[in-house]
Amino acid sequence: MPFTSLPPMLGEALAARGYSAPTPVQAAVLEAEAEGRDLIVSAQTGSGKTVAFGLAMAPQLIEPNSEMPYIREPLALVIAPTRELALQVSRELIWLYGKAGARIATCVGGMDASKERRALGQGAHIVVGTPGRLRDHLERGALDLSSLRVAVLDEADEMLDMGFREDLEEILDATPQERRTLLFSATMPKPIVALARRYQKDALRISTVGEDRGHGDISYQAMTVAPADIENAVVNLLRLHEAESALLFCATRDNVRRLHSSLTERGFSAVALSGEHSQNERNQALQALRDGRARVLVATDVAARGIDLPNLSLVVHVELPRDAETLQHRSGRTGRAGRKGTAILVVPYPRRKRVESVLRGARINAEWITPPTPEDIRRNDHQRLLAALLEPVEIDDEDRALAQRLLEQKSPEEIAAALVRAHRARMPAPEEMVDQGPGERPQQAGPRQGFEDTIWFRMDIGRRHNADPRWILPLLCRRGHITKNEIGAIRIAASETMFEIPRAVAGKFAAALKRTEGGDPEGEGGVRIEPVQGKPRDAARQNRRAGPPPPRHKAKPAYRAKPHRPR
């Protein structure tokens, strides 16, 4: 249905932006039953909710057939969890309310607070900001909310997760009780319900999650890799897709810094975004992506919150999201405004069951794929190169003269080959994976050359701990400072795994194990590895006589469980 019952200035702004019909969440907030009421709206990222609450609050801001009234104190307040999201909301409201003559002030951390105070002093119809900076202006007397008509909490669940509850309560307590409160949240945990109960009256519940959940324009994929192969897998994914813009998610700023440096070293045009970057650095990074100077963004969850990149077609979860909501918020950066996008999870072998559980919780059907090989990448490169070179181009006289000189000295085949080589030289080389899939190495390997005289070792992980040769091999190589060719048969039992090492390198292997033991108690360093006497069958008999082994320190899974909090 087309937009109806809107002030003419907003209708003109929407038409100029190419809006012909509202999205489900926009249509819902414009229904007659929603007019003038407090709203609790559950809508996914990328559903058009910024325009939705911009339209919903129009009756409180614009008189019929007139422009915005002159007033010094703000009429509307929009609170967002991060400065990127606040700046994006501000940009959206500027074009939506521009024809109505609205003055919009933005108050976010990392910007010049004195300039923000001057803007507030000159009068603003709409104020958009982050909780901490808004609270600071409120306590300093620069922000007067006594005339506020509408308060909007955008991504309220994220603000509570980030610890902004006290800030939000102080801000809302400073507003008139008769104000209208619009609460937008992708999820509705108990803290959100409590906040709504305290600050809203007779709120109308609107949910479009069922219509948007999983993002129909996003193709989800997941692939299992050895932990040592994660970075190489990311490189190969970037090379396979050659996306116009790609977003890589890491869990910490240190990992963002490390991955960004590694990609830059390999020749990718990449920028980084995390909590350690200033607002100016963030703006420069995003502008580089928008104008094509950079094609890859490496970011943390919080830093990437609210980012809107029109040409973003690939999201890679380099480090796994903590839950289904985080997965959807991350993936929702692509597949926006009717465009198609791809979201890929890079899954270490021991974490597959947990990822499958997260996908079920998000009601997402992901396709499990194998990591791209150099052959896959070269095949795609050939197709892209042919398509690029066969496109029609405009040729001027100078180009023709240069081409003629080349043909006088080289054959057409030599010129074409040189062109192909020059095009290929601009692309980073694909990476060889340590493990290319379950078929590379059998679970049990028989004696082979060099393994006539071996020593058997035992690991305190087995099938109960998702033990698998595909991630055990890289673990042994890292812990024991050997190559996978120096590891013989691997035999996995219920609670332990045995493997053989040639006697010639067993001493070096055992010494390296001692040096690397305990360095990462919750990960590989917590796996106990020790030599056994005799063959695996002899060790099994010794275990039966000795009784059950003592409980081992859990090294798997690698993620940490949340501590129990007593009531």
- pLDDT at 281 exceeding the cut of 90: no
E runs forming strands in 80-125: 104-107
CATH architecture of 8-212: 3-Layer(aba) Sandwich (3.40)
The mean pLDDT of 444-453, rounded to a whole number, is: 62
pLDDT above 70 covers what percent of the chain? Answer: 85
Bigger pLDDT: 233 vs 435: 233
Report the Cα–Cα distance between both ends of the chain, in Å, rounded: 50
Rg of the chain (C-alpha set): 29
The pLDDT score that the predictor gives to residue 445 is 39
Which ranges in the chain are annotated with CATH 3.30.70.330? 454-546
Q: What is the pLDDT of residues 29-39, one digit of tens each?
A: 888 898 889 99
pLDDT in tens, 197-218: 999 998 999 887 654 444 557 8
Q: What's residue 439's pLDDT?
A: 37
pLDDT at residue 437 above 50? Answer: no
| Average of per-residue pLDDT across 7-13 | 85
pLDDT beyond 50 at 561: no
What would the mean pLDDT of 477-482 be, rounded to a whole number? 86
Residue 48 zone, left/alpha/beta (φ > 0; ψ -120 to 50; rest): left
Check pLDDT > 50 for residue 321: yes
**Structure-token pair, residue 564:** 């129990």
Q: Whole-angstrom Cα distance, residue 214 to residue 362? A: 7
CB-CB contact of 86 with 130 (8 Å) = yes
CATH class of 454-546: alpha beta
Pick the CATH number of 218-375 from 3.40.50.300, 3.10.290.10, 2.40.30.10, 3.30.1950.10: 3.40.50.300
pLDDT of residue 149 exceeding 80, the answer is: yes
pLDDT tens for each residue of 338-355: 678 899 999 988 788 889
Average predicted confidence (pLDDT) for the chain = 82
- According to DSSP, residue 33 is labeled G
Q: What is the DSSP letter of 168?
A: H
User: Which residues are CB-neighbours of 133 under 8 A, at least 6 positions away?
Assistant: 107, 108, 109, 111, 113, 116
Rounded CA separation 141/138 (Å): 5
**Which residues of the chain are in CATH 3.40.50.300 domains?**
8-212, 218-375
d(CA 359, CA 469): 25
Question: pLDDT (tens digit, 9 = 90+) per residue, 224-260?
Answer: 888 778 999 999 999 999 988 999 999 888 999 999 9
Q: What is the mean pLDDT of residues 412-435?
A: 79
At 442 the pLDDT is 38
